Amino acid sequence: MKKFLLLILTLLFSAVMTVSFIACSNQLHTGTVRIVINSEPVKEVVYDLKDMDKETFTAFDILLDLKNDKIIDLDYTASAYGNYLTKVGDISEGDGYYIIIYTNEQKDKDVSAYAKTITYDGVEVTTSGVGIDMLTVNDGTVLYFNLEKFE
């Protein structure tokens, strides 16, 4: 009888572990990314990375996901150089104003003499040195979209 009970408990434990493993393996990513659109008023969206179903992805994939879920407006132009943002949320380029992306991801920060750094909600973000298609996103990434004029 003890052997039978031990066998049942072993099978039950194995089944629970298998179900737990399968449930965990369906979640590719963990953590959150903050998307900040510097409009009036400022709009902040916290994106849960578990919602991303691609194994590898960029900031652009997150913006598309938010657009498809009707959380933000997004317009862009696709080209051989990548996607060019023309509208994010309530900010749109035009009349010499362009959408500038800031990030707190060290490897993506602009390192040129033209780089700008600001602090948003206690987090230092710097103009991105790469396009939206190349921007890295990890747990804790802050992507700050600002409209700036170039003359």
CATH number of the domain at 103, please.
2.170.130.30
pLDDT one-digit tens code per residue, 21-40: 444 444 568 899 999 999 99
> Is 35 inside any structural domain?
yes
* Domain span at 87: 29-149
* pTM confidence score: 0.80
> What are 97's two structure tokens?
């104003």
Please report which confidence band the pLDDT of residue 56 belongs to, taking 50, 70 and 90 as the band edges.
Answer: confident
> Is 87 inside any structural domain?
yes
Distance of alpha carbon 123 from alpha carbon 127, whole angstroms: 13
pLDDT one-digit tens code per residue, 84-111: 999 999 999 999 999 999 999 999 999 9
> Is 15 inside any structural domain?
no
Helices and strands (H and E) in the chain: how many:
2, 9
> Is 55 inside any structural domain?
yes
> Is 102 inside any structural domain?
yes
Q: How many domains does the chain have?
A: 1
> Is 22 inside any structural domain?
no
